[in-house]
């Protein structure tokens, strides 16, 4: 693979060598093509925007990117790179939402410019509510402009390309300073791990302000010179089978989603709606960005194998913004690895064989360290390296690891430049718990800050949540939070907050279902669920990638912020 100094050089190469090849296609929720960009069109449109940006801001200034789904985001992103402006992708702020992270992000990155779509620019209310008056708003479209060209210096490898704000599932969002060198290192790691080529068409519904959508899909496709087909996230949420239809239509090789996306496809499966869909072109069905569940994979394979889905394409992976994106993965066509472990031993931070069927938990492997990268499992308290099959904090070292957070020296020192006792650094502390087996396979078990510790025993919240959601179809999958609070005696007690399906809100017997939840949690986890709150759909706080924000849910529960059903 040819090497590049920056993403600007990479795009210039694609525009020269594959000028008229389609780089990006945006499809509507009905599957019709709404917009396309060739590599040359993307380069020319971004160049014209860079000329405008150079006149409006200085190199090193920040520009927030606030776009509805579409291709304009990509013109804005590359326009910023060409002008030396640091891009800050952001989700479109929800109307009247006090929960999105935009205020914290704006206060931290202090942008000079806001780039947006002309349809958004018309909404003056959004601008007034969303950003300070001194920000200059610039509209972006797909036209190449009038051929304005200014001679702009090419970025150096160490220059910051963009700030990727962490999803904030357990803390305030932090701006990861991702350099061109970080990006190019991780894009090459991804290419090698996924086996991608120019023929590796991607179909993606994950939003571009999220690192999985931007790096694993949009930028990886550009890196290998492939086409990336994009669709709106809300279109996927409403009609998940439209994603599979697009994979079939474009003969895509690569499709990525958090675990809940695969669950959604299973729950909305209708034989008549999937007639004619052929998934045999898929080589990578990457499952990441949140815990990967064995039963999700099993159900997806069972339902979609008759439609050409090869079980060996299921590709569990692990990554995070601080590592640019991908940290571990398997090999193309290698299938996924599962392991039966003892639930009791896991509570003592050891991966061991189960003692009985009741003690069994199925762990899904997330692959191995990527080429040019190292993974260590470390005791988070004394910072010593742990052997195989011991659960500890996952630490990572490699050229893909960002070296700093924007204006957050303490977190930079603690999280991005840590040292293992008696070894050289710097290492990224992920904040995630997991173990590596003797073959080098990584198993992620949960977040340190989410761990529920009651009477000295560790419990993983996602295990409790899965137990609850498996009880009844009225309890929404991937829409519950388990956490602990102190009771009047200072003892930790268990709280479960769980969304109820819209169709069941008025028919569910809340007291009966709470009784079943208490019984199941006691049976499976030897825990007493003292408080159970059943809430309406959409009320549970989540990150942009659909991860439950347990810390925020806990705070809302303590403040009486959840309205209970019944």
- The rounded distance, in Å, linking the Cα atoms of 125 and 96 is 11
- The rounded distance, in Å, linking the Cα atoms of 258 and 251 is 21
Residues 500 and 432 occupy one common structural domain: no
What token pair was written down for 299?
A: 């159900």
- The rounded distance, in Å, linking the Cα atoms of 347 and 333 is 33
Domain count, the chain: 2
Residues 477 and 390 occupy one common structural domain: no
Q: What is the pLDDT of residue 266?
A: 94
Tell which residue, 429, 318, 436, 345, has the closest CA to residue 380: 429
Query: Would residue 248 count as lying in a domain?
Result: no
Residues 545 and 508 occupy one common structural domain: yes
What token pair was written down for 161?
A: 């390309």
Q: What is the pLDDT of residue 523?
A: 83
| Radius of gyration, alpha carbons of the chain | 23
Q: What's 473's domain CATH number?
A: 3.30.300.30
How crowded is residue 198: how many other Cβ atoms within 10 Å of its Cβ?
Answer: 12
Domain housing 478? 451-558
> Could you tell me if residue 42 is left (phi over 0), alpha (psi between -120 and 50 degrees) or otherwise beta?
alpha
Residues 442 and 457 occupy one common structural domain: no
Helices assigned H by DSSP within 394-531: 409-411, 461-469, 510-525
Q: What is the pLDDT of residue 454?
A: 80
Query: Would residue 368 count as lying in a domain?
Result: yes
Q: For the chain, how many residues are written? A: 566
Q: What is the pLDDT of residue 45?
A: 94
At residue 318, the 3 state secondary structure works out as strand
Residues 524 and 544 occupy one common structural domain: yes
Check: CB of residue 202 under 8 Å from CB of residue 246: no
Q: What's 379's domain CATH number?
A: 2.30.38.10
Query: Would residue 93 count as lying in a domain?
Result: no
- The rounded distance, in Å, linking the Cα atoms of 408 and 534 is 38
At residue 481, the 3 state secondary structure works out as strand
Q: What is the pLDDT of residue 14?
A: 98
- The rounded distance, in Å, linking the Cα atoms of 437 and 84 is 43
Q: What is the pLDDT of residue 491?
A: 77
Tell which residue, 196, 215, 206, has the closest CA to residue 240: 206
What token pair was written down for 3?
A: 């090497």
Matching residue, tokens 């009225």: 474
Check: CB of residue 391 under 8 Å from CB of residue 346: yes
Q: What is the pLDDT of residue 131?
A: 59
Which of 265-271's residues contact partners 24+ apart within 8 Å by CB, and which partners? 265/240, 265/241, 265/300, 265/303, 265/304, 266/296, 266/299, 266/300, 266/303, 267/477, 268/239, 268/240, 268/241, 269/241, 269/303, 270/241
55, burial (CB in 10 Å: exposed 0-12, middle 13-18, buried 19+):
exposed
- The rounded distance, in Å, linking the Cα atoms of 78 and 209 is 14
Instruction: List phi, psi (to 5°) of 527.
Output: -125, 150
Helices assigned H by DSSP within 258-370: 259-267, 294-304, 343-347
What token pair was written down for 38?
A: 């060739």
Residues 384 and 486 occupy one common structural domain: no
528, burial (CB in 10 Å: exposed 0-12, middle 13-18, buried 19+):
exposed
Residues 459 and 424 occupy one common structural domain: no
Residues 464 and 435 occupy one common structural domain: no
Q: What is the pLDDT of residue 530?
A: 83
Between helix 39-56 and helix 72-83 the angle, nearest 10°, is 60
Query: Would residue 537 count as lying in a domain?
Result: yes
Check: CB of residue 281 under 8 Å from CB of residue 313: no
What token pair was written down for 220?
A: 């990886």
**Run of H or E including 67:** none
Residues 347 and 375 occupy one common structural domain: yes
Query: Would residue 50 count as lying in a domain?
Result: no
Query: Would residue 217 count as lying in a domain?
Result: no
Q: What is the pLDDT of residue 552?
A: 87
- Residues of the chain below pLDDT 50: none
- The rounded distance, in Å, linking the Cα atoms of 85 and 376 is 35
Query: Would residue 134 count as lying in a domain?
Result: no
What are the CA-CA distances from residue 378 to residues 313, 374, 394 (Å)? 31, 13, 6
Q: What number of helices (H) and strands (E) belong to the chain?
A: 18, 27
Task: Report the C-alpha dihedral over residues 433, 399, 286, 447, rounded to 10 degrees.
Answer: 20
In sequence order, the β-bridge partners of residue 203 are 229
Residues 464 and 492 occupy one common structural domain: yes
Check: CB of residue 556 under 8 Å from CB of residue 535: no
Residues 442 and 495 occupy one common structural domain: no
> Could you tell me if residue 456 is left (phi over 0), alpha (psi between -120 and 50 degrees) or otherwise beta?
left
Instruction: List phi, psi (to 5°) of 289.
Output: 80, -10
Q: Which of 409, 430, 449 is the last residue of a domain?
A: 449
- Side-chain-side CA neighbours of residue 336 (13 Å): 29
Q: What is the pLDDT of residue 460?
A: 82
Query: Would residue 79 count as lying in a domain?
Result: no
Check: CB of residue 7 under 8 Å from CB of residue 154: no
Task: Report the C-alpha dihedral over residues 503, 505, 508, 513, rounded to 10 degrees.
Answer: 110
CA 267, 312, 184, 431 torsion-angle sign? positive
What token pair was written down for 183?
A: 């990006």
Residues 343 and 432 occupy one common structural domain: yes
């Amino acid at each position: 693979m040819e090497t590049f100094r920056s993403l600007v050089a990479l795009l210039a190469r694609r525009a020269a060598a594959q000028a008229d090849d389609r780089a990006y296609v945006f499809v509507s929720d009905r599957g019709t093509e709404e917009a396309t960009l060739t590599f040359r069109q993307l380069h020319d449109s971004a160049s014209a925007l860079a000329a405008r940006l150079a006149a409006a801001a200085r190199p090193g200034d920040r520009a927030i990117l606030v776009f509805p789904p579409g291709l304009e985001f990509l013109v804005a992103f590359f326009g910023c790179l060409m002008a030396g402006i640091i891009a800050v992708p952001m989700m479109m702020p929800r109307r009247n939402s006090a929960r999105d992270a935009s205020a914290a992000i704006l206060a931290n990155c202090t942008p000079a410019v806001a780039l947006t779509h002309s349809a958004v620019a018309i909404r003056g209310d959004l601008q007034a509510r969303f950003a300070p008056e001194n920000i200059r708003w610039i509209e972006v479209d797909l036209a190449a402009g009038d051929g304005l060209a200014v001679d702009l210096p090419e970025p150096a490898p160490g220059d910051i390309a963009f700030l990727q704000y962490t999803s904030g599932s357990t803390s305030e969002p932090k701006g990861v300073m991702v350099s061109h060198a970080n990006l190019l290192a991780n894009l090459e790691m991804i290419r090698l791990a996924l086996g991608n080529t120019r023929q590796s068409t991607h179909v993606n519904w994950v939003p571009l302000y999220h690192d999985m959508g931007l790096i694993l899909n949009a930028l990886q496709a550009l890196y290998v010179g492939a086409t990336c087909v994009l669709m709106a996230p809300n279109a996927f949420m409403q009609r998940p089978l439209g994603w599979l239809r697009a994979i079939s239509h474009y003969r895509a090789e690569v499709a990525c989603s958090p675990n809940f996306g695969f669950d959604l496809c299973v729950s909305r499966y209708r034989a008549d709606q999937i007639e004619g869909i052929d998934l045999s072109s898929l080589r990578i069905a990457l499952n990441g960005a949140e815990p990967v569940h064995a039963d999700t994979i099993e159900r997806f394979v069972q339902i979609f194998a008759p439609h050409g889905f090869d079980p060996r394409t299921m590709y569990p992976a692990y990554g995070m913004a601080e590592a640019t994106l991908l940290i571990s993965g398997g090999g193309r066509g290698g299938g996924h690895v599962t392991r039966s472990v003892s639930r009791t031993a896991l509570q003592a931070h050891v991966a061991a064989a189960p003692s009985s069927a009741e003690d069994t938990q199925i762990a899904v492997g997330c692959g191995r360290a990527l080429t040019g990268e190292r993974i260590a499992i470390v005791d988070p308290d004394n910072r010593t390296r742990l052997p195989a099959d011991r659960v500890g904090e996952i630490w990572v070292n490699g050229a893909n690891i960002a070296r700093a957070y924007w204006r957050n020296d303490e977190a930079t020192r603690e999280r991005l430049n840590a040292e293992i006792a008696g070894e050289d650094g710097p290492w990224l502390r992920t904040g995630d718990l997991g173990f590596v087996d003797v073959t080098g396979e990584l198993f992620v078990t949960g977040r340190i800050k989410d761990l529920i510790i009651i009477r000295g025993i560790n419990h993983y919240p996602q295990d409790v949540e899965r137990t609850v959601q498996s009880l009844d179809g009225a309890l929404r999958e991937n829409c519950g939070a388990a956490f602990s609070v102190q009771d009047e005696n200072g003892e930790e007690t268990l709280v479960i907050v769980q969304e109820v399906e819209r169709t069941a809100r008025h028919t569910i017997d809340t007291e009966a279902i709470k009784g079943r939840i208490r019984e199941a949690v006691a049976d499976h986890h030897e825990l007493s669920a003292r408080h159970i709150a059943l809430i309406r759909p959409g009320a549970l706080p989540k990150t942009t990638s659909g991860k439950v924000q347990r810390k925020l849910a806990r705070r809302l529960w303590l403040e009486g912020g959840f309205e209970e059903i019944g």
